[in-house]
Amino acid sequence: MIDPSDVIPKYYQLANILRQQIENEDFQPHDPIPSERQLESHYNLSRPTIRQAIDLLSRQGYLYRVHGKGTFVSPPKLQKGILELTSFSEDMRNRGLTPGHKILEFGYVKPNSETKRHLEITDDKKKVLRIKRLRFGNDEPIGLQDSFLSLNSGLDITREEIEKRGSIYAILQEKFGIYPTEADETLEVTLATREEAHLLKIQEGSPLLLNERTLWSQDRKAIEFVRILYRGDRYKYFVRLTRKQ
């Protein structure tokens, strides 16, 4: 069950085994899993390793512990996908829609002061990559996305890559090893200007959902500031929150 020669750490192997058992519904919600001592002898691992695996699954929302009683399976509603940052493409696929996009603007620009503030840029000469796109779900216009990327010199994304891959985040990860790890988002209501209304095929003055996001990578550098205008009649924002700790 646990392969000591595997490059995957033992605690991670055990976490995978337990996660699979939970997803297979070998345990029912609020059922206790075997105690740490039982797992210790069953898998022939030390207790700290067992605890490391259970820690991981607790943080991910699969299990919860009760001191003196045991460790229990969280009901399915609370499993999986806890706080995942998702791109527009991922988001659309999660909703069962086929994502699409049309690039309206692409190129390096001098950021305005608001963008500089969000991207924590102090260098006056620094340029950012602006990508303005109309976003579709099942070929219907859903949102208008205006993205400003702060990339280190040397790192570059071409228009062709965006056209082909669709998701900026996928390119950042695959090409540069940059992973979005944290984001601040705001949501508010605005009314469509004439231009926005035209692009989104709605009436001028229709209510829109404005989503602004600043994104940080795993080394805590601000990498993107993006404004997304969603059609008020076609889009519902979803988020899952957990309390500190």
Partner DNA sequence: TATGATAACTGGTAAAGACCACTTAACATC
Partner DNA sequence: GATGTTAAGTGGTCTTTACCAGTTATCATA
User: Residues interacting with DNA, by CB under 7 A?
Assistant: 7, 9-12, 33, 35-38, 44-49, 51-52, 65-71
Looking at 12, 106, 176, 235, which residue binds a second copy (CB under 8 A)? 235
CB of 38 to a second copy, least distance (A): 22
CA-based radius of gyration for the chain: 22
DSSP, collapsed to helix, strand or coil, labels residue 153 as: coil
What letters, b where the CB count within 10 A reaches 16 and e where it falls short, cover 223-244? bbbbbbbbbbeebeeeeeeeee
Number of residues that bind a second copy (CB under 8 A): 52
Tell whether residue 180 is a contact of a second copy (CB under 8 A). yes
CB of 166 to a second copy, least distance (A): 20
Give the pairing of strands 222-231 and 207-217: antiparallel
- Which among 35-43, 58-66, 130-138, 142-150 is the span making contact with a second copy, rule CB under 8 A? 58-66
DSSP, collapsed to helix, strand or coil, labels residue 68 as: coil
All residues at 6 or more sequence positions from 133 whose CB lies less than 8 Å from its CB, including other chains:
101, 102, 103, 104, 144, 145, 147
CB of 34 to DNA, least distance (A): 7
CB of 230 to a second copy, least distance (A): 8
Q: Do 222 and 119 meet the contact criterion of CB atoms below 8 Å apart?
A: yes
Catalog residues that contact a second copy under the rule CB under 8 A: 29-30, 48, 56, 59-61, 64, 66, 74-75, 77-78, 81-85, 120, 179-189, 191, 207-209, 216, 218-220, 222, 232-233, 235-245
